[in-house]
Structure 1
Amino acid sequence: MAETLGILFLVVVAPIWLVLHYGTAWRKTKSLTKGDEQLLEELWNLSQRLEERIDTLEVILDRDNKDWSKK
């Protein structure tokens, strides 16, 4: 029973609490700080580089083993 309540809390209550808590905190600031903007830009650039690397790896795998994606 306690296990079920714990799982229920984690699945239902915790996400709602987090959304409400951080939503309220976000409304207080209503804008990104310069540091936040810089971090977002760095993360965006990193994600673009990683996407390019994945595309390159897929091309290499397609060339070497056409059935790699079916595994």
Structure 2
Amino acid sequence: MPTLVIGLPWLILHYITKWKTAGTITNDDEQLLDELYHLAKRLDDRMDTVERLVASDHPDFKHARLVHDQEIDNQQLEELNRLIAEKKGAAK
């Protein structure tokens, strides 16, 4: 009888807690995402350099990807930067 009174509610509450925390991002996940974001920005800068070098050697070269100097291409990146800044501001 005590197993039903104590054990069953504990088991149910334990798994409810696990279920609720499974959908959230942990600090480790957030740090990993931040590192991946910075890595992607560095790789983007490198691609810009490579494209600039190729364009200087071949005048008919056309950029096949988004160009960071164009405002229309930067709108989503600026939105992401704003959300990250808000998140870091709220966390402090």
Length-normalised TM-score, structure 2: 0.42
Stretches of structure 1 lacking an aligned partner (at least 5 in a row): 1-25
Structure 1 position 66, deviation (Å): 2.2
Alignment-derived partner of residue 53 in structure 1: 46
What's the Cα RMSD here?
2.3
Structure 2 equivalent of residue 29 of structure 1: 22
Aligned length, in residue pairs: 45
Q: Calculate the TM-score normalised by the size of structure 1.
A: 0.53
Q: Which has the larger radius of gyration?
A: 2
SS of aligned partner of 1:66: coil
- Measured at CA, do residues 31 and 63 of structure 1 come closer, stay the same or move farther in structure 2, by a change above 3 Å? same
Q: Please name the residue that 2:60 is paired with.
A: 67
